[in-house]
Amino acid sequence: MPPIAAPIAILSALAEEQAGLLQHMQGARDVVLAGRTVWCGSLWGQPVVLALSRIGKVAAATTATALIAHLGVGKVVFTGVAGGVGDGVQVGDVVVGTSYLQHDMDASPLFPRYEIPLYGRAVFAGDDGMCGALQAACNAALVRHRDRAPAVHRGLIASGDRFVNGATEVAALVGRLKAAGHTPLAVEMEGAAVAQVCADYGVPFAAVRTISDRADDTAHMDFSTFVQDVASVYAQRIVENLLKTLSK
């Protein structure tokens, strides 16, 4: 008998993104881990675990740790929304994270700004193969939004425990990161924490983020409407394409 493949964890930030996937899940059974309801089953031929990360770095790290340590997931994929901060990264575009950094990590002067103490680095890489598969899944999933064909970008995602919601704030944040040699495409609140947990356990990780806002003064308004109308649809299509590819 072939060995049973370790399940892929699909972590979603928002219940709207998980709902469509859960409807398609076969043999779904729920398990409670660390106070979180997690769904185990299969999707498009792949053993899968669906979980909500909750919001913020600690909640997301706890979720990822529980899935790896208790359910033995072999890969982690994160789907969510983000604020676009890179040049040309527009609302409706998608960013595949090839690297992750915590923009609110600052243990200077003991360690260089952004470096995770005792890891000797600020940036964690996304898994190459998963990033490539996610990019292909995105290319096949996106539809025109407000008369524009969305673009798929690949690059650095910056995470922090803050909803970035101001033009001055975002300019300062990006300016500081660039001065330290980091050019982020998007900001969100979980990815780099999950990347760090996955690196600790040696589990391949990649995240895909649909851009809901530009992290400026109207970010909170753009965010809510976008999540309802676009992000949940994209998340489902991207994950479906990804899992179908992995089944081939």
User: Looking at beta carbons only, is 52 or 82 nearer to ligand ADE?
Assistant: 82
Which amino acid is present at 16? E
Among 39, 114, 124, 223, which residue interacts with ligand ADE (rule: CB under 6 A)?
223
CA distances in angstroms from 69 to 1, 6, 26, 212, listed in the order given:
25, 12, 23, 32
Q: Is residue 187 a contact residue for ligand ADE (CB under 6 A)?
A: yes
**Long-range contacts of 216-221, Cβ-Cβ distance < 8 Å, separation of 24 or more:** 216/165, 216/166, 216/167, 216/170, 217/165, 217/166, 217/167, 219/83, 219/163, 219/164, 219/165, 220/163, 220/165
Q: Is residue 215 a contact residue for ligand ADE (CB under 6 A)?
A: yes
Q: Is residue 189 a contact residue for ligand ADE (CB under 6 A)?
A: yes
CA distances in angstroms from 182 to 50, 115, 124, 131, listed in the order given:
32, 12, 12, 19
Closest CA to 77 of 41, 39, 131: 131
Using CB under 6 A, count the residues that bind ligand ADE: 14
Q: Is residue 194 a contact residue for ligand ADE (CB under 6 A)?
A: no
Question: Considering 17, 93, 115, 240, which one is annotated as catalytic?
Answer: 17
Q: Is residue 9 a contact residue for ligand ADE (CB under 6 A)?
A: no
User: Looking at beta carbons only, is 131 or 164 nearer to ligand ADE?
Assistant: 164
Q: Exposure of 5 by Cβ count < 10 A (0-12 exposed, 13-18 middle, 19+ buried)? A: exposed
User: Looking at beta carbons only, is 67 or 89 nearer to ligand ADE?
Assistant: 89
Among 49, 64, 66, 81, which residue interacts with ligand ADE (rule: CB under 6 A)?
81
Question: Considering 93, 115, 127, 213, which one is annotated as catalytic?
Answer: 213
Catalytic status, residue 17: yes
How far apart are alpha carbons 224 and 174 in whole angstroms? 24
Q: Is residue 188 a contact residue for ligand ADE (CB under 6 A)?
A: yes
Instruction: Kindly indicate which of the ranges 77-85, 93-101, 200-208, 237-245 contains the residues binding ligand ADE, using the contact rule CB under 6 A.
Output: 77-85
Q: Residue 3 has what DSSP assignment?
A: P
Tokens coding 202: 């040696």
Minimum gap (Å) between residue 81 Cβ and ligand ADE? 5
Catalytic status, residue 115: no
Q: Is residue 185 a contact residue for ligand ADE (CB under 6 A)?
A: no
Point out the residues that are catalytic: 17, 213
Contact residues: ligand ADE, CB under 6 A: 81-83, 163-165, 187-189, 212-213, 215, 219, 223
